[in-house]
Structure 1
Amino acid sequence: MKFLCFILISISVGWAEDSGLRYEKEKVCEQLHGMGKQKFKGLFIAVYSQKFPNSTLEEVTCLADEMLKLGERCCVEGASADCYDKGATEISDKSCQADSPFPKHPGIIRCCAKQDVHERKMCLASLHYSAEELPSLLDPTNEEMCEQYTQDPIGYSFRYMYELARRHRSAPTGLVLNATGSQLRMLEKCCKPAPSAMCFFTERFQGRHFNIFLRFTSNVCHNNINLKSYKTGLTAYFGSLLKISFEKAQSMAKDFQDALSKCCLQPNQECIIQEFTEFQKGLCDESMLGTMSEEFQKCCGKAPMDTLTCIENLKRQPQTLPDIQPISQSLCQPDSPQETERYLFQIGARQLTTSVPVITTALNHVKDRVEACCSDSDIQTCMSQKDGDVKKIITLLSKADEKCTQYFKLGMPAFKVMVEAEVQGDGDQAAAKAETLVDLSSACCFQHSPAQRCQALTEKLISYDKGAAV
């Protein structure tokens, strides 16, 4: 969407005034007049729904209305030069009132305590929710959607945008806007004169590739933002998915994460599409294709965005890896800085079913212990003391991977009975461990597992004294 980046700059200025990033008022005003009030307001609803996913639609809409009024007031001939800055200050002041109608956040009190206006705006602008992910958005029936849309098209569009944006809070806003536009075009086409099941089927079928890409992008962006040591987990994942060496997997993980870090929080979708296109070229390079499976080669024959989602659906493959050795001083050699990452790769690349958030979280715990020992005055003694913890984490990760396979084979009722029976000998922790492991398997054995929830569940399992016994 042309000039979307400038509008998003204005949103930042609404609560933050960055002297290093001048607000290009003319271009934003041009876009306001070009989009019209409703679309411009919709953009703000999408952005603030992503920023504050736990807020109500009414709170988000109230803030969007204020931003629209600010634009209308300051994008007219004769508006004073400081119109926007003054208006932005008024909005930030209003957000600090006890009865503020704007989105709520635990950090607002801390920000509003700052006396310096500039610092307060910067603090408010940096606020983001870190709560666990929301469940997927489920559409009502075709008839219900048509009724809601025909009764109030604008209200429906804002509600849909709000619900979609808060569930894809880490993806580029442009993707959310495009998805909302597709939904509205489908309703406009398929609801008149009466709901048409065939029309809905056709439209959804034609839009399936974009919807898959949105979910894929939202997932990997969310992982990148929320998972510590995500590149380590990605390296292991690419190693098992593509059956490639540590060096190739690490290089691929770096390129992929660099693309995410550059583009996920960019408002325009063009950035992520361009970076993914370049990544696909390297992934499907002719020098590599000859060594890959037939299924992989078929994926590379698709359009760049479809290639990535296609490869994601491939089964991870077991490969021959060295036996995992006890942690030792050899992981701390200054002339071999990649030895720890190689060690973590050998652990993670063995996992064939559990999700990247689980693998990443477990590997990060191993990494923390190794790095702590490498900084210790007595490295080898520290390694010997921590090796038991590391073995428990490795065993837990292998068991989690095994449980994913069993979960898909047995189904929830039989799986739950099996897990409860397995942990009966774990004393007082048995019931809690069984519940956590069932929760982890039901939430974290899928491609697009929720990063924060799976991270929390994995850490909960690791926290048990006898984590290896699950």
Structure 2
Amino acid sequence: MKHVKFIGFIFFLFSLTESLALPTKPQDVDPFYATQKFIEENTVYLTIIAVAQYVQEVSFDEVETLVKVMMDYRDGCLANWTLPECSKRANEAIQDMICSSEGLPQRHNISHCCSKVDFARRLCFFYNKKAKTGFLPPFPTLDPEEKCQAYKNNNGSFLNLYMYEVARRNPFVFSPVLLTVAARFEEAATTCCEQQEKATCFQDKAAPITQYLKASSSYQGTVCGALIKFGPKVLNSINTAVFSKKFPKIGFKDLTSLLEDVSTMYELCCEGDVVQCIQGQSQVMNHICSKQDFISSKIKECCEKKMPERGDCIINTNKEDKPEDLSPREPKFTDSQNVCQERDSNQDGLLIEFTHEYSRRHNYLSTPELLRVTKVYKDLLEDCCSRENAAGCYRHAEDKFNETTEKSLAMVQQECKLFQELEKDALKLQ
């Protein structure tokens, strides 16, 4: 991967928020500086990603001009760190450059965003992103021989152009994913350009890269959509189910601490802050790797990898085996006499803990199904806690949960049967 390296620049240009402050514990230093180094080595890519995702119609020439502006900005700040503009976060600096680029806001209809400030401007840039990219020209394709010649002539420019084309067609994909895509594409180009059958090689290498990008785009788009539409509470519920079923031996206290980092990461990544997104993901992975004994026995090899492979490895690793001593049900939520009191004092906390305990005990269920069960429990308590014999009412909650999952299973089986019958009919017509 072609990099523009500059030591020290990140520490003033990409200033960190309080939650990502400089580490004070010795064991935190190495992961922190490894993340900093990774950002420094990929700053050109990160600038390209941010600009192409915010202004998808922007031309590659315009992007290259803004990259040069960023480099000039860097040089000025290296000469004098005390300049006020050198304390900006990356997102702010990039949006400033876009807005101050002569004619660019008018050409690409983002003047309304540039007239805003702070959070309002950041939100405007986010809402300017378009998931449907039919307005863009088809993804440029080259003959394998031409592709390899362009790569050999100037691999830096070739890879930057690829990053630009991918980023603007995937405006909601997080920067760590796009950097992984770029690294895998570079590896494919390096390998395939040495092969006799270049076209076949590129086809074989491209398939898993495309699949990875589509899957990441779909999931991250859904999660960010939930965050924007419903707020952090719903996102927290989703992440509770996801982490609890993947790491069923994690305790609720450790999960709560982890979720704080995860929530911060998603807020930064969904907003499109390319640098803080990497910092946020790194913090989450450091958190998980520092507590392997309490979280998972299956991530040791992942935690030994470098960025961004480490994050992908942890995300895609197999679920941890459910602890043998974990009972099928947690009586606290159905047998206790004090459930309604807990609900009245802290309903959100009670429901999150319920989601955690139910998900880790039923980690074979899908995330949407686990959230449906939580909704059933919430509605049940709303009904039961208004009755005289509340405890006698919610004591049968497990029957409601089983009924919910059985209905979902029956629906899935029906859909699968229908699909199989349609497939048979289609074969008969051939």
Compute the TM-score of the two structures, normalised by the length of structure 1.
0.50
Name the residue aligned to 1:341.
Answer: 352
Which one of 45, 50, 53 corresponds to residue 48 of structure 2?
45
Amino acid at match of 1:190: C
Which one of 107, 120, 129 corresponds to residue 117 of structure 2?
120
Which one of 97, 100, 105 corresponds to residue 106 of structure 2?
100
The CA deviation at 1:187 is 0.9
The CA deviation at 1:363 is 6.3
Name the residue aligned to 1:70.
Answer: 69
Amino acid at match of 2:258: F
Task: Give 1:11-30 correspondences, 5 Å limit.
Answer: none
Deviations 1:338-396 (A, max 9, x none): 44434445665676555435644x4675688689x69xxx9727999xx9xxx999966
Amino acid at match of 1:267: V
Contact 1:331 1:339 in 2 (8 A): yes
Q: Which has the higher contact order (CA 8 A, sep 6+)?
A: 2
The CA deviation at 1:180 is 0.9
Name the residue aligned to 2:262.
Answer: 260
Deviations 1:152-200 (A, max 9, x none): 76356423444257548353x3552353134124313422474447966
How many angstroms apart in 1 are the aligned matches of 2:302 and 2:94? 46
Which one of 412, 431, 435 corresponds to residue 419 of structure 2?
412
Task: Give 1:382-393 correspondences, 5 Å limit.
Answer: none
The 3 A distance-change label for structure 1 pair 132 and 260 is farther
Name the residue aligned to 1:280.
Answer: 289
Identity of aligned residues (%): 12
How many angstroms apart in 1 are the aligned matches of 2:220 and 2:421? 32
Name the residue aligned to 2:27.
Answer: none
Which one of 231, 251, 254 corresponds to residue 253 of structure 2?
251
How many angstroms apart in 2 are the aligned matches of 1:8 and 1:410? 58
Task: Give 1:119-138 correspondences, 5 Å limit.
Answer: 119-120=116-117, 123-126=120-123, 127-129=125-127
How many angstroms apart in 2 are the aligned matches of 1:71 and 1:149? 29
Contact 2:376 2:401 in 1 (8 A): yes
Amino acid at match of 2:386: Q
How many angstroms apart in 2 are the aligned matches of 1:189 and 1:370? 58
The 3 A distance-change label for structure 1 pair 62 and 325 is farther
Name the residue aligned to 2:18.
Answer: none
Which one of 172, 181, 200 corresponds to residue 179 of structure 1?
181
Contact 2:373 2:404 in 1 (8 A): no
The CA deviation at 1:96 is 9.3
Contact 2:47 2:94 in 1 (8 A): no
How many angstroms apart in 2 are the aligned matches of 1:149 and 1:217? 28
Name the residue aligned to 2:318.
Answer: 311
SS in 1 for 2:345: coil
How many angstroms apart in 2 are the aligned matches of 1:416 and 1:395? 30
Number of corresponding residues? 349
Name the residue aligned to 2:428.
Answer: none
Unaligned runs of 5+ in 2: 16-36, 134-138, 228-232, 269-273, 304-309, 425-430
Task: Give 1:376-455 correspondences, 5 Å limit.
Answer: 380=386, 399-400=407-408, 403-404=411-412, 410=417, 412-414=419-421
The CA deviation at 1:310 is 1.9
How many angstroms apart in 2 are the aligned matches of 1:132 and 1:363? 33
SS in 2 for 1:303: helix
The CA deviation at 1:128 is 1.2
Task: Give 1:316-335 correspondences, 5 Å limit.
Answer: 320-321=328-329, 329-334=340-345
Compute the TM-score of the two structures, normalised by the length of structure 2.
0.54
Amino acid at match of 1:230: L
SS in 2 for 1:59: coil
Contact 1:149 1:187 in 2 (8 A): yes
Unaligned runs of 5+ in 1: 13-30, 289-295, 418-470
The CA deviation at 1:61 is 3.6
Name the residue aligned to 1:448.
Answer: none
The 3 A distance-change label for structure 1 pair 90 and 179 is closer
Name the residue aligned to 1:463.
Answer: none
Root-mean-square deviation (CA, aligned residues, Å) is 6.2
Amino acid at match of 1:253: L
SS in 1 for 2:106: coil
